[in-house]
Amino acid sequence: MAKELEEGTQLTLDWSKLAKVAEGNPDVVPVAVQDVDSKELLLVAYVNELALKHSFECGNATFWSTSRRELWEKGASSGETFELLDVRVNCEQNSLLYIVRPRRGGICHTKNEHGAPRRSCYYRQVVPADNSLIFLEK
């Protein structure tokens, strides 16, 4: 299932994601992650107070894994870490923006055809006519 979801060419959105997150992780807010240099949106994840505090303390983009229900310092095991340069909050204080600089590689847990981490989690474009997906990077 994950292979088709992550590498497939058909749009299959998880419409119940927010309900699942709220059910198991009530004290989180979404965080968008943006590359300071390219301005590219790299990832949308979740943070809780612990993850935000850890991000400030260690200087790396850190999140709360809603599936594993644990602190997730992006790249801690792979070395694909992201220097946290700035954190911004929206007007309603219900989401954050992490502005980061990749230290090496990409942010996505999926790999491109060369086996390298994809730079961004937004690597496919939706074709509205048939809900298919087109890969933007190889």
Measure the CA dihedral 96/99/100/105, to 10°: 80
39, part of any domain: yes
Token digits of residue 115: 């086996």
User: What is the per-residue pLDDT for 1?
Assistant: 58
Say how far apart CA 117 and CA 137 lie, in whole Å: 11
8, part of any domain: no
More confident residue, 127 or 33: 33
User: What is the per-residue pLDDT for 98?
Assistant: 93
Does residue 6 register a pLDDT over 90?
Answer: no
CB neighbourhood size of 37 (10 A) = 9
For residue 95, what are the domain limits? 25-105
115, part of any domain: no
User: What is the per-residue pLDDT for 54?
Assistant: 95
Query: Quick one: pLDDT band at residue 107, thresholds 50, 70, 90?
Result: low
pLDDT digits (tens, 9 = 90+) for 79-101: 778 899 999 988 887 889 999 99
Half-sphere exposure of 90 (CA within 13 A, CB side): 9
Measure the CA dihedral 57/63/64/70, to 10°: -70
Query: Quick one: pLDDT band at residue 105, thresholds 50, 70, 90?
Result: low
43, part of any domain: yes
Among 98, 83, 101, CA closest to 30: 98
Say how far apart CA 67 and CA 15 lie, in whole Å: 16
pLDDT digits (tens, 9 = 90+) for 13-72: 788 888 888 888 889 999 999 999 999 888 899 999 999 999 999 999 999 999 889 998
How many distinct structural domains can be found in the chain? 1
10, part of any domain: no
Highest mean predicted confidence (pLDDT) among 7-16, 63-72, 116-125: 63-72
118, part of any domain: no
121, part of any domain: no
The CATH number given to whatever domain includes residue 56 is 3.10.20.810
Mean pLDDT for 106-133 is 74
65, part of any domain: yes
Dihedral sign, Cα of residue 53, residue 32, residue 123, residue 12: positive
